[in-house]
Amino acid sequence: MNIAVFHGSTRDNGNTEYLTYQAVPKEKGTHIYLKEHDIKPIVDERHAPDGFKEVVDDHTKLIDKMLEHDVYVFSTPIYWYSMSGVMKTFIDRWSQVMKDPNYAHFRGALKDKKVYVIAVGGDKPHIKGLPLIQQFEYICQFFGMSFEGYVIGKASRPGDIKQNEKALTEAGLLLKGL
């Protein structure tokens, strides 16, 4: 199965990225680093008379890439107990995609895709990261995607994650048998 990994980190070679490579090695799957792309925040015009205004940025290109894959890994540092702003901005814009006549198939196309989440935080992430996991479950439910699993890692300072045997092991098992 072809896998797209969406990296929501805003720095290079961080703990989240490292943990994610244990699940999906760099040379496997398509790795998309959201921070390298121009993604504008949504302006909610669902109910505007003329609908959404066209936005010129990289979002459509990313959606096209997304639709080419069957398995999605959302990899995000935990910022203030939820996904990073750049990942949130990427997902918020899905509301606009759903109203785009060129993407009338978007919602249906996501059905049955498999979703995994990898999240890394420093402040009791195995407890305080759970609302984030629940939110991904709701997103999956909305589209009929299957939320297959998640790994939460604890790390704050660069390199911390390398000492976290449990998280590394869990990440290594996350997509096993896929």
Beta strand ranges found along 15-171 (DSSP E) = 30-33, 71-77, 114-121, 146-154
Smaller CB separation from a copy of itself, 50 or 165: 165
> Residue 114 and residue 100: Cα distance in Å, rounded?
24
11: Cβ contacts below 8 Å, ≥ 6 apart = none
> Residue 178 and residue 175: Cα distance in Å, rounded?
6
Closest distance of CB 169 from a copy of itself, Å: 6
Smaller CB separation from a copy of itself, 27 or 152: 152
User: What is the residue type of 44?
Assistant: D
Q: Is 163 in the site for a copy of itself (CB under 8 A)?
A: no
Tell me which stretch binds a copy of itself (CB under 8 A): 17-25, 51-59, 64-72, 127-135.
127-135
DSSP 13: T
Convert 150-177 to b/e letters by CB count within 10 Å (16 or more is b).
Answer: bbbbbbeeeebbeebeebbebbeebbee
Q: Is 138 in the site for a copy of itself (CB under 8 A)?
A: yes
Cα–Cα distances in angstroms (integers) from residue 114 to residues 57, 73, 173, in the given order: 27, 8, 15
Closest distance of CB 172 from a copy of itself, Å: 9
Smaller CB separation from a copy of itself, 56 or 127: 127
Smaller CB separation from a copy of itself, 3 or 174: 174
Q: Is 137 in the site for a copy of itself (CB under 8 A)?
A: yes
Smaller CB separation from a copy of itself, 11 or 28: 11
The contact set with a copy of itself (CB under 8 A) reads 9-11, 14, 35, 41-45, 47-48, 77, 79-86, 88-89, 91-92, 94-95, 123, 126-128, 130-135, 137-139, 142, 147, 149-150, 157-158, 165-166, 169-170, 173, 176
